[in-house]
């Protein structure tokens, strides 16, 4: 029986690379993206199905999950990958852009988990991987709002790790550095001119596939050019005087 994977932001970049990688191993893919033409093109390439939707709409991923079950009879893997940079300047605040960024980068992940968990449980468990960023682990002052959203989804993954593992569902995240995708297209020449190495979408796709099968719940894989993906470890925080120190966490 083929593995069935749902991928948001699947029309290009990391999402499309994940679809190609998983389909080459026999998986059936369901792609979701606001870019209908791109999603259709990649779906045809990988022999999957697609739908055009905005993941900030709570019904979007529910409909995608329903499409997976109606088309293939099950759901095994979910890659919550859709994301945008914010471009929000806190000194010249754009409320509409802020809401859009939070809607896609944070709400889209929350809604995706909410929609996927019941289906994964119906079919005996599975795995969810979120595309976060190094900006979810360290400060990136080039885009503080984007940084906030990626910290938020990393926190969600960490908080859900144990509860979901008790349901037979693994959840983790990949935290790549700058990647040569449409998200950085406007500043790509700056990186190239400075000799700064960029990840490829295929580099990150390989890490996503690894994250699906990570043994430890809540694994956060750091992905950097020229290095193998490595799990990130947080330092522990001091405990109360006379009490136990909280354990180091993922």
Active site residues: 146
Q: How many CB atoms lie within 10 A of CB 141?
A: 7
Helix (H/G/I), strand (E/B), else coil: 180: coil
Burial state string for 24-59 with b = 16 or more CB within 10 A and e = fewer than 16: eeebbbbbbbbbeebbbebbeebebbbbbbebbeee
d(CA 32, CA 63): 10
Starting at the earlier edge strand, list the strands of the sheet with 4-8: 49-52, 28-33, 4-8, 77-80, 126-131, 169-176, 220-223, 230-231
Which residues lie closer than 8 Å to 158 by C-beta, 6 or more apart? 218, 220, 249, 250
For residue 195, report the phi and psi dihedrals to the nearest 5 degrees. Answer: 70, 25
């Amino acid at each position: 029986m083929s593995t069935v994977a749902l991928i948001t932001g699947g029309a290009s970049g990391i999402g499309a690379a994940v679809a190609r990688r998983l389909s080459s191993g026999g998986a059936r893919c369901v792609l979701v993206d606001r870019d209908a033409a791109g999603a259709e093109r990649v779906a045809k390439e990988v022999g999957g199905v697609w739908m055009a939707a905005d993941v900030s709409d709570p019904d979007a991923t529910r409909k995608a999950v329903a499409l997976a079950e109606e088309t293939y009879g099950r759901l095994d893997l979910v890659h919550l990958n859709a994301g945008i940079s914010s471009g929000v300047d806190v000194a010249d605040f754009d409320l509409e852009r802020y809401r859009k960024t939070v809607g896609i980068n944070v709400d889209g992940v929350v809604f995706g988990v909410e929609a996927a968990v019941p289906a994964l449980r119906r079919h005996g468990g599975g795995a969810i991987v979120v595309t976060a960023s190094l900006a979810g682990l360290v400060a990136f002052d080039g885009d503080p709002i984007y940084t906030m959203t990626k910290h938020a989804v990393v926190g969600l993954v960490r908080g859900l790790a144990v509860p979901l593992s008790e349901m037979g569902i693994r959840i983790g995240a990949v935290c790549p550095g700058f990647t040569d995708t449409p998200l950085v297209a406007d500043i790509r020449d700056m990186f190239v001119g400075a000799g700064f190495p960029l990840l490829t979408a295929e580099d990150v796709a390989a890490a996503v596939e690894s994250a699906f099968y990570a043994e430890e719940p809540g694994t956060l894989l750091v992905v950097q050019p020229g290095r193998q993906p490595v799990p990130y470890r947080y330092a522990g925080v001091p405990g109360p005087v006379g009490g136990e120190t909280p354990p180091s966490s993922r």
